[in-house]
Amino acid sequence: SAVISQKPSRDICQRGTSLTIQCQVDSQVTMMFWYRQQPGQSLTLIATANQGSEATYESGFVIDKFPISRPNLTFSTLTVSNMSPEDSSIYLCSASTGVGYEQYFGPGTRLTVT
Amino acid sequence: AQSVSQHNHHVILSEAASLELGCNYSYGGTVNLFWYVQYPGQHLQLLLKYFSGDPLVKGIKGFEAEFIKSKFSFNLRKPSVQWSDTAEYFCAVNARNTDKLIFGTGTRLQVFP
């Protein structure tokens, strides 16, 4: 298994600003992912963070709005850019040790945009 | 496109009652199946998983799930729930050899003493 930490755990941000969320895994993993969980809803995959190359985004999510970095096998960041109140959500990082394997989740970052 | 349906959005039980949460998926190929649990204020944890073999899988805390391929279902069960089982339960699926995990909408379980 993998233990995942995220920073910050929560933040309140103003409209138009950007926030970068950090995700750290305690061991080397193959895959890292970013999800959004809006209040009362399920998890939606934003993108797969690829080490050393551009992230793979899901339909409805674009790099300009959610730039992602993954400089090594244990760390990734997600930036929520030019925020609006609609971006208020919980952002979750996950990791797995192989394609199709179970994913381990971080505690999430609760973002509120005012 | 793949999708996952959880029919029970909110379930209320008394302690010692039996539990069954439904999960159906739409995908014609080989899949890996998961149930995750999110206790209040905690992060998502893996409850159990099915990759292959015996379609009846056992997980942590007395939970089990049965994969019925003909019904595209992976229902979660527990014979006797406890107050501590109060949580949100998510079914998730990914197509074999892909990295994309599709989640159901979740079922909120409340267990009263």
Tell me the DSSP string of B28-96. SS-EEEEEEEE-TTS--EEEEEE-SS-SEEE-GGG-EEEEEGGGTEEEEEESS--GGG-EEEEEEEEET
CA within 13 Å, CB half, A105: 23
Beta-carbon contacts of A83 under 8 Å, excluding residues fewer than 6 positions away, are: A13, A14, A15, A16, A17, A18, A19, A111, A113
- Banded pLDDT at B41 (limits 50, 70, 90): confident
| pLDDT tens digits for range B42-72 | 889 999 999 999 999 999 999 999 999 999 9
- Banded pLDDT at B99 (limits 50, 70, 90): confident
Instruction: Name residue B108's beta-bridge partners.
Output: B10, B88
* Residue A96 near chain B (CB below 8 Å): yes
User: Which residue on chain B is closest to A108 by alpha carbon?
Assistant: B43
Q: Mean pLDDT over all residues of chain B?
A: 93
* Residue B101 near chain A (CB below 8 Å): yes
* Residue A107 near chain B (CB below 8 Å): yes
B65, B57 Cβ separation under 8 angstroms: yes
| pLDDT tens digits for range B70-83 | 999 999 999 999 99
B31, B95 Cβ separation under 8 angstroms: yes
Beta strand spans in chain A (E): 4-7, 10-13, 19-25, 31-37, 43-49, 56-57, 68-72, 75-80, 89-96, 104-105, 109-113
pLDDT for B96 beyond 90: no
Q: Are strands B102-103 and B107-112 parallel, antiparallel or unpaired?
A: unpaired
Of all residues in chain A, the percent with pLDDT exceeding 90 is 79
